Chains A and B, each alone.
Chain A
Amino acid sequence: MKNSSQKTIRKAAAGDRLAFRELVLDNSHAMFRLAWRMTCDEAAAEDIVQEAFIKAWRSIGDFRMEASFRSWLHRITVNTAMDYLRKQSRRKQLEVEEPQWERVSQASEPARADVQIDIRTQTQAALLKLSEMERAALMLRHFEGHSIDEIASTLNLSANACKQTVFRAVKKMRIELQPLVAT
């Protein structure tokens, strides 16, 4: 995510569509990556990015200039993704994806590329087993490098509750990922 200039943000907050366009151009890729990691679904991530920008446009007039614009956009993206996830019944998809675990262990000599694909699938499946809150906290910490305090603010949690959410997410992921480390 590029550092959008304060001037551009101010102009967008005042209703300048061209300035907002600049913010969209600067931040779309990063928002897509975050949305994808939250959903593991390309089409959903694209929809979430668009929806998040619409929400950002609605509320950019209320953005406090002293705050981090990046964190603010992440918050909108994560909340939009969480809304999406709540509406989806992901468990059914997991049930479909899980048999692929067996495919890896049963294969006698799987090709290396297949192993990589399965590791990716299994890691995605592990991630999707986390609650939305755990997933969001872990993604923001692990991939986006947000501090616990920032994540707490993004997810509307206390710092301690946020820490516990990250701990739970890490524990669950470790249990799922442990068998893959030897692969």
Chain B
Amino acid sequence: MKKITDDDLTLLYYGEHDDPSLAARVAGSDELSARFEALGEELARMEVLTPPERGDDYGAEVWRRIAPRLAEERTSSGWGWLTRLRAPRFSLAGAFSITLVFAVAFFLGREGALTGPAPVGTDSAQAAVLNDLDPAQLLATSVSRHLEQLNVTFTQFANSPDLSNGMADRAMDMLLANRLYRQAAESRGDRKLATFLGDLEPLLIELAHEAYKNSPATQNRMQQELKDSLLFRIRVMNKQLTDSQIST
């Protein structure tokens, strides 16, 4: 008769043993019963591993935290706006400014995390000009200009019923610029500015991917969000950045 190992008893304990006679053999033997009982007692000790309780609203809390991120994540290939996310569109008009933003972000970030070779499209004259500027001032000036553009586009979106005027393309350019400025602010340790720019991203993502299209409810929510707080915050931040430039 085959010797019964502890592995056999483990499988029996978890109801996974494929020999139906094993349970009877264990029950009929004092030695096997004692071993099986010891195994059970030792594994039962794991029951003290009770996770900390979560409240009834834990699921809602998880949702609240992840919902903004879902907008920029992909799922099935059938989602039109997400397919476009894989092949971002850039308006021709935005191409030059994006190159400049790359250049600015590169120079701002080179003391921090954004290190590497100079971005393609940065000519030596541009590099020389950027090199002569104070990084803090350069960041403030660049972000201030970026916020002015955001203010115009967002105001237009918040007030206009007609949204078929290249809004998405502009928003995509601004989203990319916003991310680069946020990274530059992070790498320079300006957490307040980085957080502020991060707060703008969810709406820019929705705008860039036309989440408002065919959804009046989404459009209303986005417009309301702008009117309620974002436009005001953009103007306040822009004022602070402009004031900081004047004082330096």
Q: A57 contacts the other chain (Cβ, under 8 Å)?
A: yes
| Count, chain A residues at interface, CB 8 A | 51
Q: B111 contacts the other chain (Cβ, under 8 Å)?
A: no
Given contacts A37-B51, A54-B70, A61-B76, A28 and B58 within 8 Å (CB-CB): yes
Interface stretch, picked from B38-46, B86-94, B130-138, B156-164, is B38-46
Q: A120 contacts the other chain (Cβ, under 8 Å)?
A: yes
**How many residue pairs bridge A and B at CB < 8 Å?**
114
Interface residues of B in 33-85 (CB under 8 A from A): 38-39, 41-43, 45-46, 48-49, 51-52, 54, 58-60, 62-63, 65-67, 69-70, 73-79
Interface stretch, picked from A84-92, A93-101, A102-110, A175-183, is A175-183
Query: What is the CB-to-nearest-CB distance from B52 to chain A, in angstroms, rounded to a whole number?
Result: 5
B-chain residues with CB within 8 Å of residue A33 when the two chains form the complex? 51
Given contacts A28-B54, A29-B54, A59 and B75 within 8 Å (CB-CB): yes
B-chain residues with CB within 8 Å of residue A181 when the two chains form the complex? 38, 41-42, 45
Q: A62 contacts the other chain (Cβ, under 8 Å)?
A: yes
Is there an interface contact between A15 and B78, defined as CB atoms closer than 8 Å?
Answer: yes
Interface residues of A in 148-167 (CB under 8 A from B): 148, 163, 166-167
B-chain residues with CB within 8 Å of residue A27 when the two chains form the complex? 59
Smallest CB gap from B82: residue in A: A15
Select A61's contact among B6, B49, B78, beta carbons within 8 Å.
Answer: B78
A-chain residues with CB within 8 Å of residue B69 when the two chains form the complex? 54
Select B75's contact among A13, A37, A141, A167, beta carbons within 8 Å.
Answer: A13
Is there an interface contact between A28 and B52, defined as CB atoms closer than 8 Å?
Answer: no
Please indicate which of the listed interface residues B42, B58, B60 has the most CB atoms of chain A within 10 Å of its own CB: B42
Is there an interface contact between B49 and A177, defined as CB atoms closer than 8 Å?
Answer: no
Q: B123 contacts the other chain (Cβ, under 8 Å)?
A: no
Select B16's contact among A53, A120, A148, A174, beta carbons within 8 Å.
Answer: A148
| Count, chain B residues at interface, CB 8 A | 35
Query: What is the CB-to-nearest-CB distance from A153 to chain B, in angstroms, rounded to a whole number?
Result: 15
Q: B10 contacts the other chain (Cβ, under 8 Å)?
A: yes
Interface string of A1-34 (1 = CB under 8 A from B): 0000000000001110100110011111100110
Q: A71 contacts the other chain (Cβ, under 8 Å)?
A: no
Smallest CB gap from B45: residue in A: A177
Smallest CB gap from A175: residue in B: B42
Is there an interface contact between A174 and B49, defined as CB atoms closer than 8 Å?
Answer: no
B-chain residues with CB within 8 Å of residue A180 when the two chains form the complex? 45
Interface residues of B in 3-33 (CB under 8 A from A): 6-7, 10-11, 14, 16
Select A60's contact among B52, B59, B76, beta carbons within 8 Å.
Answer: B76
How far apart sit A180 and B43, CA to CA, in the bound complex (Å)?
11
Q: A170 contacts the other chain (Cβ, under 8 Å)?
A: yes
B-chain residues with CB within 8 Å of residue A53 when the two chains form the complex? 62, 66
How far apart sit A11 and B74, CA to CA, in the bound complex (Å)?
15
Select B63's contact among A13, A24, A59, beta carbons within 8 Å.
Answer: A24
Given contacts A26-B59, A173-B43, A20 and B70 within 8 Å (CB-CB): yes
Is there an interface contact between A123 and B79, defined as CB atoms closer than 8 Å?
Answer: no
Query: What is the CB-to-nearest-CB distance from B91 to chain A, in angstroms, rounded to a whole number?
Result: 26
Q: Interface of A with B (CB < 8 Å)?
A: 13-15, 17, 20-21, 24-29, 32-33, 36-37, 40, 42, 45, 49-50, 53-54, 57-62, 116, 119-120, 123-124, 127, 141-143, 147-148, 163, 166-167, 170-171, 173-174, 177-178, 180-181
Can you list 20 residue pairs at the A/B interface with Cβ under 8 Å?
A: A13-B75, A15-B75, A15-B79, A24-B62, A29-B59, A45-B51, A49-B62, A53-B62, A54-B69, A58-B74, A58-B75, A123-B49, A127-B46, A147-B16, A163-B11, A167-B7, A173-B43, A178-B42, A181-B38, A181-B45
Q: Interface of B with A (CB < 8 Å)?
A: 6-7, 10-11, 14, 16, 38-39, 41-43, 45-46, 48-49, 51-52, 54, 58-60, 62-63, 65-67, 69-70, 73-79
The 10 closest A-B pairs by CB, nearest first: A61-B76, A25-B59, A36-B51, A28-B59, A177-B45, A61-B75, A28-B62, A120-B48, A33-B51, A177-B42
